[in-house]
A and B are shown apart, each in its own frame.
Chain A
């Protein structure tokens, strides 16, 4: 990456100066500026709610700015529609994809062409589509006739990128493209991005995952609360701390007010979910929470966490599983029944699932109380005192309770929705992405609020795809992937990297598991995939032959090296067989991706009297990190 040389830099293809955007009374952007140059990947960074997505939607023509200037190739550039953006060669690869799910890949790639006058030749389009996918190196990965709804998240993204190339876009904006991708899929996305950059296109990469920013961007522009605070800085000149300081404006530690050690937790779980099943998203999810505990439910977007919460709360039909409150089994079929059992649920989509826009703030606040109230009236007077205390606690302006909730900021709306449940004193409170679209100041006050709620003895479950957030506020994290519970681990055994690996979609780990199965079958041993951190192990997957030796590793569990049957091998950690007690021997082979990231270790434990050929195993394992040679 030799793109930091200022002398050879091209003039900006697109330049945005002092852009502002107001939604109602909410200022999403105040003073945002960014330059995008051909042959560069520019990172657009910022915390949740900093205005990254708003800015990328403005420069891609999806929404009009309230103020500021845009120039394209040096000329003033007024976009009034996405069509203008298409015609100027700007494409947005969005986080939540803009594809038509019922149409096939080919039709989606050429969707903008459908609006052009004249007849379409599908034969020609097919040839062009194949050419485009070939240039991306993925011609075999994407059947053109497949309906988009049947594709994986990574494949859909590929369709989006192909769509951008079909328009011959000079500028491609990637808006949080990695949110639902596994590490391997992220890698191949970055290969494509590098290819596009080397073709001389201008790329913008919107993300809040710092590791990825360092991996792919040449320059970064950082937004904080709608304002550009660092512009066009060479990535190489920055450290992670620099970026965080710009993004947050203060030390990150202040956001997550780490819980004190002496918090009280009940011994028995207050809430237990066993083998929950709600097809197609939730296949086997189990977890339990104690009173006073904050449990994180982590995973990628689309892993089935939200759907699990909805199934628990009676918003979605369950096909199986058991739910226990204080040890008693309950069967909530409707939210009203779940509320009666002491549950509260703050759903993910605030506007669609939580806010009743035509009711006032007061009535929104009292909505759950009204639902619980048995009489004919609204039941407001019963909680008046509690409401007044709560309003004071949250810093809600008491004289604005009769206004529309939509006039408030996202953070305040979220606080009001949380307060809606606190008013009826739930025993279990489930929050789905509680800080989505919430500014940083309010985020920390929401975290504090959740800690106070837990301190009062409530069992709190926080669902989030922001691993940093989970690590910041939860005591324990249950990882969900493709509808299955993968792991249940205390916070201190986890890091963002480990969570990312654990949360990877099953489809991408299937190949690894298949290799483990082959190894285990062929050598009558236990094959496992594990992360090693000092003397701590987190087992990602394990396949045990019925006659083979046992190592003591269980998928999804953390274990100390000395508690396994193979401490010597784990200490030696080399790719020859190291013997341990009971006549078993273990080889460990490290997995690294092409960028050198640690993907854990593949291990094979066999009887020491029949050692297999290590080189064949090494070759087999090495192929795992080079997927294209696999097929």
Chain B
């Protein structure tokens, strides 16, 4: 038995058949369609706008990608976003910016560590653990903030968004650097590959001597910390911390990762796919806004695109396995 007749595919063929390539195609088609529908879409100012709007969800989606690659899910990112925003605002009243930001990011990481330990060591279901953490996080952010927005933040905080390099705003530069670092980490390091292996077949990874427990916890820590980083950029723009901030952010982040081709069973997906997923989501929102479509319709549009993207992917895979 067991005759294999796989030929070596050409490099071009590999690229053309990769998921990222199809997603890039989808993003380009969307961009062209939107530029036809709205002349304003392709202006430099609007493109910067799209990038700017991608920062918050883009940062959170990196952490979500780590988590989903292990086969988990993190529903608590929105709540951590809100809570860490409040923590940052409170810390800024006492400490300088360079100390306050690490406190907020540390708080996010600690919350992630809490979820990660419960999931990886005690074997609880990620969905349930992070659902609980979401409720606790949101509740704490209301309590700490006294149920109101905290303003009066130091004006210097704005520098992390409004300084620029070569004409590119700092927050967009940070996003690009973050994606490059995350891509390198996931592709070329022991930790990154272990995260893939855990999601693909944790038992085999463990039997091969990989530190599966550590790398099952790490993604939740990264996800929590990055939620705090994201809220830092958000606060620098809005200059006030709302305890309700980041409501339903987890859904946007999960949607971006899934549109980017990651499997919710883990092991499959890429950081480039996630970036494209983020851009596709933001472009749709932006385009619909430009065209004056009611914001109430945007949910339907984004939901349909998620389902269509998954369906197309499944149909393509069906064809290729038959």
Contacts and interface: CB of A to CB of B under 8 A. Distances in A.
Nearest to A404: B6
Nearest to A363: B193
Contact of B204 (A225, A336, A354, A375): A354
Nearest to A357: B200
Contact of B196 (A347, A353, A359): A359
A464 to B, nearest CB: 19
A357 B206 contact: no
A468 to B, nearest CB: 20
Contacts of A358: 196-197, 199-200, 267-268
Contact of B206 (A30, A335, A378, A379): A335
A347 B203 CA distance: 10
A566 to B, nearest CB: 49
Given A345-B207, A378-B190, A356 B197 contact: yes
Contact of A50 (B1, B3, B268): B1
A345 B1 CA distance: 26
B219 to A, nearest CB: 16
Given A376-B191, A378-B188, A26 B3 contact: yes
A376 B185 CA distance: 9
A347 B200 CA distance: 17
A81 B1 CA distance: 25
B156 to A, nearest CB: 34
B98 interface: no
B189 A352 contact: no
B200 A410 contact: no
Interface residues of B, number: 30
A370 B194 contact: yes
B298 interface: no
Contacts of A400: 6, 8
Nearest to A21: B1
A25 B7 CA distance: 11
A26 B209 contact: no
A313 interface: yes
A315 B205 CA distance: 11
A95 to B, nearest CB: 18
Given A26-B2, A49-B2, A352-B204, A359 B210 contact: no
Nearest to B205: A356
Given A358-B199, A359-B196, A439-B2, A370 B204 contact: no
Given A315-B207, A367-B197, 14 more contacts: A25-B4, A28-B1, A29-B1, A30-B1, A347-B207, A353-B204, A354-B204, A358-B196, A363-B197, A376-B189, A379-B190, A399-B8, A400-B8, A408-B4
21 contacts: A25-B6, A27-B3, A49-B1, A313-B207, A353-B203, A354-B204, A356-B201, A359-B193, A367-B204, A370-B194, A371-B209, A371-B211, A372-B209, A375-B190, A376-B190, A376-B191, A409-B2, A409-B3, A409-B4, A420-B208, A442-B2
Interface of A: 24-30, 49-51, 225-226, 313, 315, 334-336, 338-339, 345, 347, 352-359, 363, 367-368, 370-373, 375-379, 399-400, 403, 407-412, 420, 439, 442
Interface of B: 1-6, 8, 188-191, 193-194, 196-197, 199-201, 203-211, 267-268, 321
